[in-house]
Amino acid sequence: MSVAKVIELSGTSKKSSDDAVRRIVKRANKTINNVQGVWVKDVQAVVTNGKVTSWRVNCKVTFVLG
């Protein structure tokens, strides 16, 4: 039987919301082992002068405890 933990992380990207999620996973993998999944909780577009300039994403990251 395994036990999982869920943490909440936020990230940004000027490219896309998908890129922001990839950045979150990449950064989480530097300090967390056994990342199993990511639930995108919230996505926000930052608008400047009528144009989307960046994306903010809030995620819940699940990983199995060793």
Q: How far apart are CA 6 and CA 37, in angstroms?
A: 9
Give the DSSP H or E segment for 48.
Answer: strand 35-48
Note the pTM of the prediction, 2 decimals: 0.87
Domain count, the chain: 1
Per-residue pLDDT tens digits for 9-66: 999 999 999 999 999 999 999 999 999 999 999 999 999 999 999 999 999 999 999 8
| Residues 6 or more apart whose Cβ sits within 8 Å of residue 30 | none
Residue appearing with tokens 């890129």? 19
- CATH number for the domain spanning 55: value is 3.30.1660.10
Enclosing domain of residue 20: 4-64
For residue 19, give the amino acid letter.
Answer: D
**Do the Cβ atoms of 28 and 34 come closer than 8 Å?**
no
